[in-house]
């Protein structure tokens, strides 16, 4: 698959679980991009839900630098593209051994029963639809070397909110 | 044969619990064309299959769980689903909607609707897993609450992503306002759908599907969906709703004098700040969540960290629970309200009916109509939350006086007598939700005419209550805007309620959420027309006028269902509190509802008979409901003044 976007720097999907409301729009948009239908079971990103605790965590491929799936793949169907940072999946080479699913420490690789191939994030060719549709910023498409800054800013905003709450009684003259 | 429209699964799952038979039937194409889906399709099915003699808690009643063409797509709020049945609480049309993730899963499992009929001799649950449908034993689940049931079923099926709609002990014990709870925190709340499940000994419906939802025009749909989400994210009010959830209405309603307090006696609660959204957020908020496909994210998770109710962790409460257990019961203890809300979710109880039943009993104690002698020593006084918690337990397990409280206020008033009816806040047997027609006139009409009884979801007009001048101008025109926006005036409220009722019928059939349609006003009929076309591919849906016809058709069909059960204008009423007792205090002080003026306008615009409130043959035929007209005529339920058209052959005057 060809790249639609030329990167100036490596990008990444920055996931902030505490911002996730569990709406699963990312799953819908992912399946829509790849199959033109809405089918969360074939999404390459999954919101893991713990409803009884009010916890939602979007899980997808993290495109590791030293990727266990790449190391585990016996046919080089998975390989790291050093320039973009993407772990590329070539279905033609895949023998369906599922070693990558076993090897991935995060559950970032899934199995598609409809096509007998793996489900792995491909960044939608450079414009990840999960980040595009995410309504809360829980999934952001950012430069990898600036991800920490994005994170800092989000935390700082929350600190400002905390500070305002602390100030509130004083402002009200209490 | 493949279903001609996209969006739909094209199949209906039919389960007979008496015989154990399971079958799949095709979704009738004509139903999609005439009723869209969800509420509309369910109305058609209930009309055809549940006749007037059916006992709501008998095996002949049917529980319909319906999705719409938009369900499970990525359109904003595409996670809604509706349960429809003949209501055991009211004896008429029953419907309850739920958010969460249950609806989309039904679609992914390959069904537009699930229809359950008959009754099992032993407790069972219905499992729909990757194309395999089974009626499974639920003996080990009977007696468990909805939390335990959800966990146990997920464990049994070995998949924590199974969506579970279950009943708690309230449904098992046929509490008339028992709810169905999906995945801990979401509810099919009103009209006793949980009791219908209980009567069928159906503990739960568990669904996991791996299929897809297709749309007719993928690219345009996708862009439109993204635009829709953007419109929500750009709305300050939607984002305020995300921040505070529906309890933000507590302060809004206090400000306009419409926060039902002391069993709807007055519309202001002096201690409202103790139970409002600011207090809730500051002291108890832990997480913000959303239903499937929703950008608003109005759902909140709350935790009580200290004190008597420490450890209470609950999804919600919504505004309606806060008003029902709070201001209506004169209770300002927020942790207690959170506790009651949690227990209602676990036991599977409608918070509105439960809260209103309690405040009814409180008022009867205050007035001396009830004493401890009547209740076996139990006493319920304003604001006594310990007694409220005890009352909930008595209701759910039908202990002592709770056995009567489990029947709802209408039945209680009939049994108690001694003038209790005056304090029973219900319409057609459904306890009144958190609005007051005296401060918000169209809400009075909404409560009076809604198909399921004192309802706020089917036609509540918010552009008048919250003075959305621009939206009101667009919808009603310059000449009417001033009248419409005046919440203390009856002017044009028939028009406003009729218009919103038709629009909301489309909303409830697509299905999309009340929020961002009803309030804040973001999506309206033009959007629905475009959406319905892009999803289904039906060209006729493009025309917004077609959407209005479909909405009107659905409302006439629901009315016909009720008319067949004996509902007439006499039942489209309000408790005297709203029509005769002027609002005693607050911004709406002195206001009463002049219901008849609004009813006259409403029936006129509906094309129904003024005197009886019955739909006319002419209107039904205009909407393509000839068979419905014929059935009503056969039963003598068309207006008397109407003569059958010539050539129909000697039926004579109906009625």
- Is B315 within 8 Å of chain A by CB? yes
Looking at residues B609-619, what average pLDDT do you find?
A: 97
Looking at residues B337-351, what average pLDDT do you find?
A: 98
Classify domain B11-208 by CATH number. 3.60.9.10
Q: How distant is the Cα of B162 from the closest Cα of chain A, in angstroms?
A: 11
C-alpha pair distances (Å), B119 with each of B62, B134, B137, B167, B620: 10, 15, 14, 15, 34
Q: Do domains B11-208 and B235-424 have the same CATH topology?
A: no
**pLDDT grade for B643, boundaries at 50, 70 and 90:** low
pLDDT at A143: 94
CA neighbor of B487 nearest in space, from B497, B477, B479: B497
pLDDT at B546: 98
Classify residue B349 by its DSSP letter: B
CA neighbor of B291 nearest in space, from B359, B226, B348, B245: B245
Reply yes or no on whether the pLDDT at B647 is more than 60. Answer: no
Residue in B closest to A46 by C-alpha: B161
pLDDT at A167: 58
Q: Which residues of chain A lie closer than 8 angstroms to B160, CB-CB? A: 49
Q: How distant is the Cα of B69 from the closest Cα of chain A, in angstroms?
A: 12
Report the residue from B212, B226, B297 with minimal CB separation from A136.
B297
Residue-wise burial string across B484-495, b where 16 or more C-beta atoms lie within 10 A, e elsewhere? bbebbbbbbbbb
Chain A contacts in chain B segment 188-247 (CB below 8 A): 209-215, 218, 222, 226, 229, 232-233
Straight-line distance from the first to the last Cα atom of chain A, in angstroms, rounded to the nearest whole number: 63
**pLDDT grade for B654, boundaries at 50, 70 and 90:** very low
Reply yes or no on whether the pLDDT at B652 is more than 50. Answer: no
Q: pLDDT digits over B105-154, tens only?
A: 999 999 999 999 999 999 999 999 999 999 999 999 999 999 999 999 99
Looking at residues B325-349, what average pLDDT do you find?
A: 98
In a domain? residue A118: yes
Q: pLDDT digits over B459-507, tens only?
A: 999 888 888 899 999 999 999 999 999 999 999 999 999 999 999 999 9
Give the Cα separation of B13 and B129 in Å (integer).
Answer: 13
Residue in A closest to B105 by C-alpha: A40
Report the residue from A23, A35, A40 with minimal CB separation from B290.
A23
Task: Please indicate whether, in this complex, the C-beta atoms of A55 and B287 are within 8 angstroms of each other.
Answer: yes
Topology classification of domain B235-424: 1.10.569
CA neighbor of B348 nearest in space, from B396, B401, B394, B314: B396
Q: pLDDT digits over B31-49, tens only?
A: 999 999 999 999 999 999 9
Give the Cα separation of B23 and B40 in Å (integer).
Answer: 22
CA neighbor of B102 nearest in space, from B150, B174, B55: B150
Total tally of structural domains belonging to chain A: 1
| Spans of all domains in chain B | 11-208, 235-424, 441-634
Looking at residues B417-443, what average pLDDT do you find?
A: 97
Query: Could you list the residue range(s) of the whole structural domain that residue A77 is in?
Result: 11-144
Classify residue B644 by its DSSP letter: P
- Walk along chain A (174 residues) and give the pLDDT tens digit of each residue: 445 555 668 999 999 999 999 999 999 999 999 999 999 999 999 999 999 888 999 999 999 999 999 999 999 999 999 999 999 999 999 999 999 999 999 999 999 999 999 999 999 999 999 999 999 999 999 999 999 988 888 888 878 777 766 655 544 443
pLDDT at A168: 53
Q: How distant is the Cα of A57 from the closest Cα of chain B, in angstroms?
A: 12
CA neighbor of A49 nearest in space, from B456, B281, B469, B184: B184
In a domain? residue A16: yes
Classify residue A124 by its DSSP letter: G
pLDDT at B198: 98
Reply yes or no on whether the pLDDT at B653 is more than 70. Answer: no
pLDDT at A174: 37
Reply yes or no on whether the pLDDT at B273 is more than 60. Answer: yes
Classify residue B586 by its DSSP letter: S
pLDDT at B381: 98
Query: Do the strands B430-431 and B426-427 form a parallel or antiparallel pair, or are they unpaired?
Result: antiparallel
CATH architecture label of B441-634: Orthogonal Bundle (1.10)
Task: Please indicate whether, in this complex, the C-beta atoms of A133 and B73 are within 8 angstroms of each other.
Answer: no
Reply yes or no on whether the pLDDT at B209 is more than 70. Answer: yes
Q: Which residues of chain A lie closer than 8 angstroms to B286, CB-CB? A: 54
CATH of the domain at A134: 3.30.70.20
In a domain? residue A136: yes
A154 or B307, which is more confident?
B307
Report the residue from B73, B297, B299 with minimal CB separation from A38.
B73
């Amino acid at each position: 698959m060809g790249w639609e976007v030329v990167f100036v720097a490596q990008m990444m999907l920055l996931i902030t679980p505490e911002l996730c409301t569990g709406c699963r729009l990312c799953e819908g948009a992912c399946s829509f991009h790849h199959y033109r239908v809405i089918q969360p079971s074939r999404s390459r990103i999954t919101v893991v839900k713990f409803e009884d605790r009010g916890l939602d965590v979007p899980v997808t491929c993290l495109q590791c630098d030293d990727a266990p799936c790449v190391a585990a793949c016996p046919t080089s169907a998975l390989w790291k593209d050093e320039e973009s940072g993407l772990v590329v999946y070539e279905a033609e080479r895949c023998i369906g051994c599922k070693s990558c699913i076993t090897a991935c420490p995060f559950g970032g690789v899934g199995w598609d029963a409809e096509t007998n191939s793996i489900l792995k994030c491909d960044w939608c060719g450079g414009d990840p639809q999960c980040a595009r549709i995410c309504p809360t910023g829980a999934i952001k498409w950012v430069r990898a070397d600036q991800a920490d800054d994005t994170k800092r800013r989000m935390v700082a905003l929350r600190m400002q909110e905390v500070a305002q709450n602390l100030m509130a009684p004083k402002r009200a003259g209490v | 044969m493949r279903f001609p429209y996209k969006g739909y699964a094209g199949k209906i799952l039919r389960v007979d619990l008496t015989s154990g038979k399971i079958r799949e039937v095709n979704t009738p194409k004509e139903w999609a064309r005439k009723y869209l889906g969800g509420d509309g399709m369910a109305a058609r099915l209930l009309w055809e299959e549940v006749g007037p003699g059916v006992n709501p808690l008998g095996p002949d009643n049917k529980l319909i769980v319906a999705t719409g063409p938009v369900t499970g797509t990525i359109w904003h709020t595409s996670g809604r689903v509706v349960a429809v049945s003949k209501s055991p609480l009211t004896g008429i049309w029953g419907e309850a909607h739920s958010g969460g993730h249950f609806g989309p899963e039904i679609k992914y499992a390959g069904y537009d609707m699930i229809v359950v009929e008959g009754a099992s001799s032993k407790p069972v649950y219905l499992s729909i897993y990757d194309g395999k449908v089974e009626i499974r034993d639920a003996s080990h689940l009977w007696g468990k609450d909805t939390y335990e049931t959800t966990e146990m079923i997920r464990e049994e099926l070995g998949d924590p992503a199974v969506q579970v709609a279950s009943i708690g002990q309230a449904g098992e014990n046929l509490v008339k306002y028992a709810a169905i709870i999906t995945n801990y925190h979401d509810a099919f709340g009103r009209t006793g759908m949980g009791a219908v499940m209980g009567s069928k000994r159906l503990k739960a419906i568990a669904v996991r599907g791996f299929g897809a939802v297709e749309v007719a025009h993928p690219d345009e749909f996708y862009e439109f969906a993204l635009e829709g989400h953007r419109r929500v994210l750009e709305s300050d009010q939607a984002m305020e709703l995300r921040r505070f959830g529906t309890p933000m209405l507590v302060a809004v309603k206090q400000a306009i004098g419409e926060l039902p307090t002391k069993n709807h006696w007055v519309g202001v609660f002096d201690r409202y700040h103790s139970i409002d959204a600011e207090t809730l957020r500051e002291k108890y908020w832990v997480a913000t969540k959303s239903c499937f496909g929703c950008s608003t994210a109005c759902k909140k998770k709350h935790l009580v960290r200290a004190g008597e109710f420490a450890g209470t962790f609950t999804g919600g409460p919504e505004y309606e629970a806060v008003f029902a257990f709070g201001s209506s019961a004169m209770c300002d203890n927020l942790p207690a309200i959170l506790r009651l809300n949690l227990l209602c979710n676990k036991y599977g109880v409608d918070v509105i009916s439960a809260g209103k039943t309690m405040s009814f009993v409180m008022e009867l104690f205050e007035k001396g109509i009830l004493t401890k002698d009547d209740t076996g020593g139990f006493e319920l006084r304003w604001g006594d939350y310990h007694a409220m918690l005890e009352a909930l337990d008595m209701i759910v397990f039908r202990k002592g006086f709770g056995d009567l409280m489990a029947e709802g206020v209408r039945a209680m008033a009939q049994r108690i007598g001694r003038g209790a009816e005056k304090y029973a806040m219900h319409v057609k047997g459904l306890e009144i939700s958190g609005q007051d027609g005296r401060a918000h006139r169209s809400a009075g009409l909404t409560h009076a005419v809604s198909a399921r009884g004192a309802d706020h979801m089917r036609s509540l007009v918010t552009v008048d209550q919250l003075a959305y001048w621009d939206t009101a101008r667009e919808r009603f025109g310059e000449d009417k805007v001033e009248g419409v926006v005046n919440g203390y005036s009856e002017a044009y409220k028939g028009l406003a309620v009729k218009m919103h009722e038709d629009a909301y019928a489309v909303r409830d059939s697509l299905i999309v959420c009340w929020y961002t349609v009803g309030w804040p006003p973001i999506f309206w009929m033009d959007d629905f027309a475009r959406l319905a076309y892009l999803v289904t591919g039906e060209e006729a849906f493009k025309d917004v006028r077609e959407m209005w016809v479909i909405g009107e058709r659905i409302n006439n069909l629901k009315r016909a269902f009720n008319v067949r059960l004996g509902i007439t204008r006499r039942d489209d009423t309000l408790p005297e509190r709203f029509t005769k007792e002027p609002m005693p205090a607050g911004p709406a002080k002195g206001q009463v509802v002049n219901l008849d003026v609004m009813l006259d306008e409403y029936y006129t615009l509906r094309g129904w008979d003024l005197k009886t409130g019955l739909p006319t043959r002419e209107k039904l035929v205009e909407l393509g409901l000839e068979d419905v007209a014929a059935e009503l005529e056969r039963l003598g339920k068309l207006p008397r003044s109407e003569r059958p058209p010539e050539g129909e052959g000697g039926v004579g005057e109906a009625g």
